[in-house]
C-alpha cells in the first residue's frame, strides 16, 4: 500500500509528535508499505523518512519536492525516488495521486491545506480516498470541534466522517488499513 503522509516541517514541535511520527513510519516500514511524502529534511518530515528507511522490509520512500525546497538544500536524502514539482499545489496533487490512503500528523497551515484539498476533491468526485488524522495528544481535537460546528450549521454536505477519520494510537491506525 502507498501511504501518503502530510506533516510539519517544523523542528520545534512537541517531542511527543516526533515520537509518534517515528513509530508510525517504523510500523509502515515493518509492514512493507511505501510512503509518499513531502521529502524535506526538516521536522516531522525528516523523522518520517529516517524511521521508515531504518525499519523497512520492502516498500519505497518517495519524496515529492518543490523546486524551491531543492534550491534551498532542504531535500531529504536518501530516498528511493524523488518527484520534483513546481509548487505546493502540484505537490499535493502528486501525493494524492500516488497514495492509496493519506495520513496527517500534526502540522500547521500547509498540513491543513493538504487535509482540506484531499477532502474537498473527494467530496466532488475526483477520488474516493480517505484521510486519517493522527490525533496525537488531542492535537486535532479543535479541528474536530470546528468540523462538528460546520456540520451543525449545514456548511458541509454529507458526513465529513466519511472522508476524515480520527485516530489516536498506532493500534487504531493499523486497524484502519
Q: What is the 3-state secondary structure (H, E, C) of 104-119?
A: ECCCCHHHHHHHHHHH
Cell of 78: 536518501
pTM over 0.85: yes
CA 52 – CA 33 distance, rounded (Å)? 10
- 157 pLDDT band, cuts 50/70/90, is confident
Give the tens place of pLDDT for each residue, 97-148: 999 999 999 999 999 999 999 999 999 999 999 999 999 999 999 999 999 9
Cell of 45: 518530515
Reported as half-sphere exposure (CB side, CA atoms, 13 A), residue 10 has a value of 13
CA 90 – CA 65 distance, rounded (Å)? 10
Which residue segments constitute the domains of the chain, with CATH numbers given? 2-176 (3.40.50.450)
CA 11 – CA 9 distance, rounded (Å)? 7
Amino acid at each position: 500500500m502507498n501511504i501518503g503522509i502530510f506533516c510539519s516541517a517544523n523542528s520545534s514541535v512537541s517531542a511527543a509528535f516526533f515520537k509518534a511520527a517515528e513509530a508510525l513510519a517504523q510500523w509502515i516500514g515493518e509492514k512493507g508499505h511505501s510512503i509518499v511524502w513531502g521529502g524535506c529534511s526538516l521536522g516531522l518530515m525528516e523523522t518520517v523518512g529516517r524511521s521508515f528507511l531504518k525499519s523497512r522490509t520492502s516498500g519505497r520512500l518517495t519524496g515529492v519536492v518543490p523546486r524551491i525546497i531543492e534550491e534551498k538544500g532542504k531535500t531529504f536524502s536518501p530516498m528511493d525516488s524523488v518527484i520534483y514539482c513546481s509548487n505546493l499545489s502540484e505537490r499535493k496533487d502528486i501525493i494524492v495521486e500516488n497514495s492509496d490512503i493519506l495520513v496527517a500528523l500534526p502540522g500547521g497551515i500547509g498540513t491543513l491545506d493538504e487535509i482540506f484539498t484531499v477532502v474537498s476533491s473527494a467530496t466532488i468526485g475526483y477520488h474516493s480516498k480517505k484521510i486519517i488524522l493522527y490525533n496525537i495528544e488531542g492535537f486535532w481535537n479543535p479541528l474536530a470541534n470546528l468540523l462538528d460546528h460546520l456540520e451543525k450549521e449545514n456548511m458541509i454536505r454529507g458526513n465529513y466522517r466519511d472522508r476524515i477519520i480520527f485516530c489516536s494510537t498506532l493500534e487504531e491506525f493499523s486497524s484502519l488499513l
